Structure 1
Amino acid sequence: MRHEEVIADLHRRWVFGWERDEGDAPFDFRRTFGEFYDFNSPDVRLYDDFDPAQRVATTAAGYGSIWEPAFDRMVSAHHAVDDGPHVVAGHELAASTLTFVARITMPDSTTDIRTTTSLVWHRTADGWRIVREHNSSKVLPAGDLDGVLPTPKTP
């Protein structure tokens, strides 16, 4: 399989790693994303403007510590790929861009978003791993994704 195809598959699977259903076990970032992020590289920089504090994580574990509490509070999170992934790949580095939509349901609110995500992948002995991430999200009007996302599972 060509590098571009491998990265495209990884990026698609990465999106759906963020799925949550009511009653899921506590969100464990390393367990969920261990095959995606480089947990050992000193060159990691990960950013998502959906983080209210807009922190830049310099380790994969640090990035997980940003998202674990938020995802543990969620009732559900459902995603669909809207565009991409678009990939450029060399022998050691690759970049991919993908746009997804998501509905995030908290105990007291629901938010629909459209996010453009750009990932830089480094080829390691264990496979391709994320070393850079930049996500830009736009909150959509309430109900904008009605009928777009799959029906949530019930516990």
Structure 2
Amino acid sequence: MNSAELLVEAYGRIRETVHEAVDGLGAEELNARLDPGANSIAWLVWHLTRVQDDHIADAAGGEQVWTADGWADRFGLPFDPAETGYGHSAAEVGKVRIESAELLTGYHDAVHERTTAYLEGLRPQSLNRVVDESWSPPVTLGVRLASVLSDDLQHAGQAAFVRGCLSRR
């Protein structure tokens, strides 16, 4: 297995966990919050997908699926299209209201498809390319991909946890 195949496998696990957390849920469950300051399943999956979309598009030098394929319009959220949810307050989290699991998984699957296509084309030496010089040390593509993977898996796991809590109510 080479590094590109490993990354494709790892990012595929995000998709699997997202589907397990979301499939079959209605709007009430998707938007439920365990307490007023907690993140909903809808927000968690939207946010993790927005971050992946943003970072992969930047690394690939292309437009985000969110804007290029009309997902921002379909979601109709009250934010600038560049918004990813990073640093959202509890009030902003509450503004992410999603009416269907299919909308969330549709966007996630579109981002996953774009991510997979990008990852499949990576060569090992590509992972050393600096993609962000605003940090010390500068961030390489490999570090950025690992960071997105880690963040996304954590949020997908949080969504699965919230689903479990809601199912036991």
TM range (shorter): 0.3 to 0.5
- Highest RCO, 1 vs 2 (Cα 8 Å, sep ≥ 6): 2
Structure with greater proportional helix content: 2
TM-score with structure 1 length normalisation?
0.36
Structure with greater proportional strand content: 1
Larger radius of gyration: 2
